[in-house]
């Protein structure tokens, strides 16, 4: 749900608007009838997304080997 409020009302009722935004509502703040800002819920926490990515990489790595090569030998080969 989206709501438009004036700048004065947003300033006066900021705490209430924050509560509504944290509940999932998007609030557009306008000045003289023109939208100037938007207040809404945050996207999913970045640390949660990063942990999910790391878990996915770890699942992909399981059972995969380098065929007897070592990481250091591959690194040194790339430096030549």
- Give pTM, 2 decimals: 0.53
Whether residue 80 is predicted with pLDDT greater than 80 in this model: the reply is no
Given a cut of 90, is residue 77 above it in pLDDT? no
DSSP string, 21-47: HHTT-EEEEEETTEEEEEE----S-HH
* Cβ atoms of 67 and 74 closer than 8 Å: no
Each domain of the chain, given as residue ranges in start order, spans 1-80
Instruction: Tell me what percent of the residues of the chain surpass a pLDDT of 90.
Output: 48
Q: Binning pLDDT at 50, 70 and 90, where does residue 5 land? A: very high
Q: Distance between CA 52 and CA 50 in Å, rounded?
A: 5
Q: In what order do the strands lie in the sheet with 2-6?
A: 2-6, 26-31, 34-39
State residue 65's pLDDT score: 79
The CATH code for residues 1-80 is: 3.40.1620.10
């Amino acid at each position: 749900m989206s709501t438009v409020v004036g700048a004065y009302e947003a300033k006066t009722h900021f705490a209430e608007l924050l509560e509504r935004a944290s509940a999932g509502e998007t609030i557009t703040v306008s000045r003289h009838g023109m939208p100037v800002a938007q207040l809404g819920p945050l996207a999913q926490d970045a640390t949660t997304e990063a942990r999910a990515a790391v878990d996915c990489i770890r699942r992909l790595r399981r059972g995969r080997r380098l065929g007897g090569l070592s990481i250091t030998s591959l690194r040194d080969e790339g430096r030549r």
